[in-house]
Amino acid sequence: MSAIEAPTQSSPAASAWRVWLDEHAPKLFLFARQQTRSHEDAQDVLQDAVVKLVEKIRAGEFVGGQQAWQPYLYTTIRRLAIDLSRKNDRRTKRENNVSADTESLQQDAFHPWFDNEGGDEETRSQLEDALKALPEKFSEVIIMKVWGERTFAEIGKALEISQNTAASRYRYGLEALKRELGTARMKGDLSI
């Protein structure tokens, strides 16, 4: 088989290609297995390397003839294994970050906003509900100011609004919150 003749299913070169691959595949697979973390990854890396070789041969880009196939495959397997390892490490890191974020959100969901040691659970719940009922543009500024301990300048920068707008949203939000809580207090639903 010539260096530029690509093996196809119906060509005579296909049987020569199969003979070559049958002879060298076990050694190549063993090398791929040493370069990867699992049997499946080794199979994938070896297959990808062989596909790259066949594509180069078909395109007439492969230089060196059949005697260069094996060194090319060893080099390609190694590079693909390194790429796969990096990809898997990045994926694992992303998954761990998402897992940590999810755990943090779940913990936040179970931790009260208001630490009311001797207080009433119902009052705390009403305060949280009133804050959640505010328009988002007000509640996000209040949360960032009170719980995030941010300055109005920092809040403005984070929300891409002016410092004065952040301060006025804070004031309007607190006024709306007081009105809501005042109504609950007048009804006798709130004990503070």
Interior angle at CA 154, CA 151 and CA 156, nearest 5: 105
pLDDT of residue 2: 39
pTM, rounded to two decimals: 0.47
pLDDT of residue 186: 63
DSSP string, 112-173: -SS--SSS-HHHHHHHHHHHHHS-HHHHHHHHHHHTS---HHHHHHHHTS-HHHHHHHHHHH
Contacts of 56 (CB under 8 A, 6+ apart): 62, 72
Tell me the residue type at 16.
Answer: A
Cα–Cα distance list, 120 to 63, 82, 175, 183, 192 (Å):
80, 58, 23, 18, 10
- Profile the chain (192 residues) by mean pLDDT over runs of 10 residues: 47 81 92 90 95 92 89 93 90 79 58 54 76 86 84 89 93 88 65 52
User: For residues 96, 100, 101 and 107, what is the CA-based torsion angle, rounded to 10 degrees?
Assistant: 160
Give me the domains of the chain, ranges plus CATH numbers.
Answer: 12-106 (1.10.1740), 121-186 (1.10.10.10)
For 93, what's the count of Cα atoms within 13 Å in the CB-facing half-sphere?
6
For the record, the structure tokens of 85 come out as 């390892």
Pairwise CA distance, residues 11 & 2, whole Å: 13
Under DSSP, is residue 187 helix (H, G, I), strand (E, B) or coil?
coil
Give the chain's radius of gyration (CA, Å).
33
Under DSSP, is residue 6 helix (H, G, I), strand (E, B) or coil?
coil
pLDDT of residue 42: 94
Question: What are all long-range contacts of 12-21, with beta carbons under 8 Å and residues at least 24 apart?
Answer: 20/66, 20/69, 21/50
